[in-house]
Structure 1
Amino acid sequence: MNKINIIIVDDHPLIREGLSKILSMDENINIIAQGNTGLKAIELIQKYSPDVALLDVNMPELSGIEALTYIKKLEVKTKILMLTAYDDHKHLKDAIQLGADGYILKDSDYNTIINAIKALYSGRKYIQPELSSYLIDKPMANLDIDNLNNLTKREHEVLLLIAEGLSNIDIASKLFISEKTVKNHVSSIYLKLNIQDRAHAILFVLNNNLK
């Protein structure tokens, strides 16, 4: 496995130091830079184009959520793993809707952090299992895998691309169709799967290990 180049951005020095020590235990992880603000995160990503960036949700000058909004507009390959000490649904939903690739708690154990980083590096999303329930406002039973059979082949493709964090414009470009057509597919997917938004769509894909 190639080295995974990462940056750590958190306004608490002890958190950065702790994460650095933990991640240094894995021979496949290479920490190339650290920062303490959302603005610094943007600067480091533009400078180094790391494989994965660990971003604290709450930081001075520019929060992790605000930085995420800007980073997703950049032409970079960097996957964003959000870190938070808060297990409330608002931060999680905002991050997922804005295109975060992963979301975990700061006090996660070693295996959770490493698994999250490696999942993002391999192109998958990662939401800490304990946090999944915050993504939905209705019982998990409503996210029925049987509903997947109602999707057309194209809708299935669009669903997987949504789960990869692509915007409607990006999906349109990738599939060589119009943005309006993508919007129609997305609306149809929501209706057929009985889900409300992109966060629910991502959760559906994650929970059912769709490919």
Structure 2
Amino acid sequence: MVNVLKLNFMEKIKVFLIHDYDALMDSIESILNDSESIVVVGKANSAALAEQLIRTKTPDIVVADVSVCEKVGADLTKLIKREFPKIKVIVLSMQDDFINISKMIKSGATGYLLKNVKFHELHKAITKVMLGETYIQNSITAKFINGYQRENHTEEVNILSPREVEIIRLIAKEYTSADIGRMLFISEHTVETHRKNIWRKTGVKSIVGLLNFAHEHQLI
């Protein structure tokens, strides 16, 4: 497998840089060009100029500062992916929170790095992204994973109606369907219907499974 990957990189990875700070962009260019597997084929300090030059330079990867003045990060990434769908995008940002990382990944970026990234990790990110992987800077990976898990849990809870959540909490207190019906002023049959819907939506198959689901999603 390793030999195959090396063969794929016999041609240098062509990188295009977008950054509004020319001195930093020149520094990145110089270091990347020292690599045996990477070459910087162009650079731009604005989204408009980048769009124009990318058409002629045909890079494999765009490394873009998401704060470039006239285009916010997600818009810039979407523009690149819409106009040049084969090009992979690695974004540079000052934001390390899940919301911003997730927004950029959903916009089409396959790499997310902070502006303080070390050059050896930038090189690693370019290589990984070129292999079809998504790369998030090591120092913020855990934060992204935790945020992703919380978001998925929220989506799972959102499929439950407020009444179903209420019934789950009463079930957890060991009330019977008849008890719950009296407390909520609904029939026992209606409670049983809610219970069936809860089993179906959560995918649990027992009271123990339901309690585990409720604990995991902080319903009780």
TM-score bracket, shorter-length normalisation: 0.5 to 0.7
* 1:79 shift after superposition: 0.6
* 1:65 shift after superposition: 2.2
Contact 2:98 2:147 in 1 (8 A): no
| Structure 2 CA distance for partners of 1:139 and 1:76, relative to 1, 3 Å | closer
Structure 2 spans left out of the alignment, 5+ residues: 1-8, 154-201, 204-220
For the residues of structure 1 that align with 2:93 and 2:23, how far apart are their CA atoms?
14
From 55, 58, 73, give the equivalent of 1:46.
55
Contact 2:66 2:76 in 1 (8 A): no
For the residues of structure 2 that align with 1:34 and 1:80, how far apart are their CA atoms?
14
From 8, 28, 31, give the equivalent of 1:22.
31
| Structure 1 residues 21-62: Cα deviation after superposition (integer angstroms, max 9, x where no partner) | 221221211111110112223223223221010000101122
* 1:124 shift after superposition: 1.3
Letter in 2 for 1:108: V
Q: In the alignment, which residue of structure 1 is the partner of 2:6?
A: none
For the residues of structure 2 that align with 1:87 and 1:72, how far apart are their CA atoms?
22
* 1:129 shift after superposition: 2.0
| Structure 2 CA distance for partners of 1:48 and 1:134, relative to 1, 3 Å | same
For the residues of structure 1 that align with 2:109 and 2:60, how far apart are their CA atoms?
14
Q: Which has the higher contact order (CA 8 A, sep 6+)?
A: 1
* 1:18 shift after superposition: 1.7
Q: In the alignment, which residue of structure 2 is the partner of 1:96?
A: 105
Structure 2 SS opposite 1:137: helix
Following TM superposition, the consecutive aligned residue runs of length 4 or more in structure 1 with deviations greater than 6 angstroms are: none
Which structure has the highest helix share of the two? Answer: 2
Alpha carbon RMSD of aligned pairs, Å? 2.4
1:55 matches 2:64: yes
Q: In the alignment, which residue of structure 2 is the partner of 1:12?
A: 21
Structure 1 spans left out of the alignment, 5+ residues: 144-190, 193-211
Contact 2:81 2:87 in 1 (8 A): no
Q: In the alignment, which residue of structure 2 is the partner of 1:64?
A: 73
| Structure 2 CA distance for partners of 1:86 and 1:137, relative to 1, 3 Å | closer
TM-score, length of structure 2 as denominator length: 0.59
Larger radius of gyration: 2
For the residues of structure 1 that align with 2:89 and 2:53, how far apart are their CA atoms?
13
Letter in 1 for 2:49: K
From 82, 88, 91, give the equivalent of 1:82.
91
Q: In the alignment, which residue of structure 2 is the partner of 1:36?
A: 45
Letter in 2 for 1:84: S
For the residues of structure 1 that align with 2:69 and 2:148, how far apart are their CA atoms?
34
Q: In the alignment, which residue of structure 2 is the partner of 1:137?
A: 147
Structure 2 SS opposite 1:72: helix
* 1:111 shift after superposition: 1.6
Letter in 1 for 2:118: D
For the residues of structure 1 that align with 2:46 and 2:124, how far apart are their CA atoms?
25
For the residues of structure 1 that align with 2:59 and 2:42, how far apart are their CA atoms?
9
Contact 1:45 1:78 in 2 (8 A): no
| Structure 1 residues 87-131: Cα deviation after superposition (integer angstroms, max 9, x where no partner) | 233321210111101011121112200000011111111111222
For the residues of structure 2 that align with 1:21 and 1:62, how far apart are their CA atoms?
26
For the residues of structure 2 that align with 1:65 and 1:138, how far apart are their CA atoms?
18
For the residues of structure 2 that align with 1:62 and 1:24, how far apart are their CA atoms?
27
